[in-house]
Amino acid sequence: MVDLKTKTVCMTNLRLCEMLKISEEELLKKRLSDICSKEVDPILEGKQGDVYAYLKAKKEDIPVVANVWTYELAGKKYGVCVFKDIREEIKARKEFEILERLYNTLSAINILVTTVEDKDLLFKQIVEILKEKGEFRYVGIFEKGKHSALCEKGVHVEGYPLIGIPFKSGRDEYVLKIAASKEASFIEKEKFLLEEIVHDVSFALTKIKKHERLSHLAYYDEITHFPNRIYFCHSLKEMIDRARAKVSKIAVIVMIIDRFDELEHTFGYYWMDRIIRAVASRIKSVARDSDLIARLGRDKFSIAIESDNSGPIIIDKIIARIRKLFKEPLYFNNDEVVVTLSFGISQFPYDAENAEEFISKTIISAERAKEIGGDTTIYYSNGLTKALSDRVLIRTSLRKALKRREFVLYYQPKIELATGRLKGAEALIRWIKDDKVISPYKFIPILEESDLIHDVGKWVIEEACAQMRRFNEKGIEINIAVNVSPLQLRDHHSIKEIISVISSCDMPSLEVEITESAMMKDISKSISFLETLSDMGIKTYIDDFGTGYSSLAYLKRLPVYAIKIDREFVKDIPENQEDVKIIKAVLSLADIYNIKTVAEGAETEGQIRILTELGCDFVQGYHFSPPLPAQEFEKYVIDFLGSSSPRNKRG
């Protein structure tokens, strides 16, 4: 309390004495100006509101928010000054600013490492980005054990913290040295993000050393490390150009794994990935160094073979060698797995003029080989264009399927890791035709080739809402998420249609998932869509998060409830520490922006344990349950809620 006439302190409390580190007796002898900065003077004179000021403690100035209210007693005017210590708030704000700056730096470097193809240029730009965007006093990259920098910027001054982070590229070892811009030490999260940056630099160096790899993330399959369809098509174009110039021949072989869906259903994603790797290994052992191999899709591999005009194309010999290898079964999880392949073949210049046509016709041949029983070989012929008409028949069947109510929704639960509670489910479409469940991988692409995706997408939303009402009538209250196709977001009319359907359902417990790749195709349109859903009270998720870098710069702008960590980062943990680091980074990023996290594809107890330890909020995967039809899911929910140990329940 202050005498407003003399500005002397006439009453205080113990907390203020502790902050100023003086006794109450000593404090009562002081004027307000002795203990507080002049920013409080206006509010002593009657100005309303809080002001930022600082208290003059013995060894430091303490930032505070000050407020004064006055009153009169016995003819004297007094002011009651209230000071709020904001040191922790300032510290937290500074930490947030540091991390936000580093996330922006990491985002810029993530983009850089996928484009730069020269080591010296990479180092130069890395140093510049860290110096400018990271706002560090000094940045330098050194070879391990060397005192002269390969590249540096800024000056290191004694007294400023310096950190050295080692990283490798093959046998080459380097150290990234960074000096802080202030005398304060590096915080732990800051160190972690810097380690993520050097990990990205290591990745870029590996990419640079292998010039044929344009970009690991964009052009290579993560499971097999084979080139993917994009890379294969690009390289095939070059092969065709060479063949035209040399008047030589090319053959493309496409191999489809027979009974793929059956194998996947039997063994689950975890073991199926290992089966795919084993298949890839056998194919690679047969291919020559000059052959181009790739994984074109989930069940498809390819080999492109080039020879001059005088030498034979050894197609049959290669196929015979592959077949011989696959006569021996694979062994996984104490099970014998028999894998057969269907082969399709087309040749240049006889069957195709360009790479896309080449690939499409070869796939048609392989699909035909699979249709007639598998484990056989079909050379492309014009008669196989019938396969194209078959797709038209499928499309027609899909139109009838919607009218005949052949589509159904399956539900896969989402579990809260901290409590083990069931927190919701994802609705997944299935097509039941002739009493067989048809995988969405087979019909979704055909749906998306036509406008059918809009009608089916509308049905999915309406059916999910109807199912929630049926659950509610039985006392089961549960949130259900539906997926929105990228094609449903391609224009404003389509988006308005989705919003209209959701609004008419009037079901706040509905949730919406949109893939990261779909969102990034038109970020402004996506943000507008997400904001509209948020205003309606609909929770939204970014699906397959982590498969692209661009979203890091926009995440803080997105009104989303949660991000779903792609199963590619989950399936190999805890053994794969690189994936653990990536998940840590995503969780840290989500924590900064107060966004929940869902890990997809968790199948083992070890994965559940590490995700719990890392602080992931929710999990979804075969460890708890595969996708289930509505009746089975209802039973699962009832059993789950009735279990004393829900964490041990599996579907």
Q: How confident is the model at residue 549 (pLDDT cuts 50, 70, 90)?
A: very low
Query: What are the pLDDT digits (tens) for 397-414?
Result: 888 888 888 999 999 999
**In order of start, what are the domains of the chain with their CATH numbers?**
2-85 (3.30.450.20), 89-209 (3.30.450.40), 218-380 (3.30.70.270), 391-638 (3.20.20.450)
Calculate mean pLDDT across residues 78-83.
Answer: 87
Does pTM surpass 0.85?
no
For 141-158, give the DSSP string: EEETT-SS-SEEEE---T
Tokens, residue 269: 């994603």
Query: What are 542's strand-pairing partners?
Result: 514, 563
Q: Give the model's pLDDT for residue 63.
A: 92
Query: What are the pLDDT digits (tens) for 314-360?
Result: 788 889 899 999 999 988 777 788 899 999 998 888 887 888 888 98
In percent, how much of the chain has pLDDT > 70? Answer: 91
**What average pLDDT does the structure give for the chain?**
83
Calculate mean pLDDT across residues 628-638.
Answer: 91
Check if the beta carbon of residue 70 is closer than 8 Å to that of residue 78.
yes
**pLDDT over threshold 80, residue 43:** no
575 or 193, greater pLDDT: 575
Query: What are 36's strand-pairing partners?
Result: 55
Q: Give the model's pLDDT for residue 172.
A: 84
Q: Give the model's pLDDT for residue 410.
A: 94
What is the DSSP code (8-state) at residue 184?
A: S
Query: What are 31's strand-pairing partners?
Result: 8
Q: Give the model's pLDDT for residue 491.
A: 61
Helix (H, G, I), strand (E, B) or coil at 414: strand
Cis previous bond, 349, omega within 30:
yes
**pLDDT over threshold 60, residue 548:** no
Q: Which of 80-84, 308-312, 391-395, 591-595 has the lowest mean pLDDT?
A: 308-312
Calculate mean pLDDT across residues 56-84.
Answer: 86
Q: Residue 309: CB partners within 8 Å, gap ≥ 6? A: 246, 247, 248, 249
Q: Give the model's pLDDT for residue 382.
A: 66
Q: Give the model's pLDDT for residue 18.
A: 86
Rounded to the nearest 10 degrees, the angle between the axes of helix 577-592 and helix 605-614 is 40
Calculate mean pLDDT across residues 546-573.
Answer: 77
Check if the beta carbon of residue 411 is closer than 8 Å to that of residue 425.
yes
Residue closest to 367 by CA, chosen among 396, 398, 351, 388? 388
Residue closest to 181 by CA, chosen among 101, 62, 63? 101
Distance CA 229, CA 182 (A): 49
**pLDDT over threshold 90, residue 380:** no
Q: Which of 58-62, 219-223, 479-483, 552-556 has the lowest mean pLDDT?
A: 552-556
Calculate mean pLDDT across residues 641-648.
Answer: 51
Query: What are the pLDDT digits (tens) for 591-616?
Result: 888 899 999 999 999 999 999 999 99
Distance CA 641, CA 632 (A): 14
In percent, how much of the chain has pLDDT > 90? Answer: 23
**pLDDT over threshold 50, residue 92:** yes
3-state SS of 611-642 is HHHHCCCEEECCCCCCCEEHHHHHHHHHHHHH
Calculate mean pLDDT across residues 269-298.
Answer: 92
Beta strand pairing status for 138-143 and 151-154? antiparallel
**pLDDT over threshold 90, residue 441:** no
Strand runs labelled E in 393-459: 407-416, 422-433, 436-438
Q: Which residues of 442-477 are buried (b: 16+ CB within 10 A; e: fewer)?
A: ebbebbbeeebbbebbbbbbbbbbebbeebeeeeee
Query: What are the pLDDT digits (tens) for 205-227?
Result: 877 776 544 556 678 888 999 99
Calculate mean pLDDT across residues 500-509.
Answer: 83
Calculate mean pLDDT across residues 642-647.
Answer: 49
First to last CA, the chain: 67
